[in-house]
Amino acid sequence: MLSVYLKSKIHMATVTGKELYYEGSVELDEEIMEKAGISENEMVLVVNVNNGERFATYVIRGKRGSREVKLNGAAARLAEIGDRVIIMAFALSDAPVKPKVVILNEKNEIVQEK
């Protein structure tokens, strides 16, 4: 039987931009994506630590080294610039999965990898 397991987590990212009139997505720095094991167009769950909002969207690749975390489309209404978010991707598996976890500081610099 397959179960859904946490595969990847970007913990405490800071929202750096938002654009309402854009095809919906979350844009992430390519380096952060790679470290967390998240792919472009992969579905993610985003949790806003500041206001409790939770929403699903997909990832688009941002500029490597930009440290950008941008919310686009309808998701732009669910957070403000400066809010801290947790971004999670999941996998179907028949056995438990050890997730890749990337912890960021307020400047979206990687401070820890698990």
pLDDT 10s digits, 48-106: 999 999 999 999 999 999 999 999 999 999 999 999 999 999 999 999 999 999 999 99
Q: Tokens for 112, please give them.
A: 């820890």
> Given this model, what pLDDT does residue 103 score?
98
11-46 pLDDT, tens digit per residue, is 999 999 999 998 779 999 999 999 999 999 999 999
Calpha distance 53→46 (Å, rounded): 8
Arch. (CATH architecture) of 3-104: Beta Barrel (2.40)
Calpha distance 23→72 (Å, rounded): 7
Residues acting as catalytic residues:
25, 58
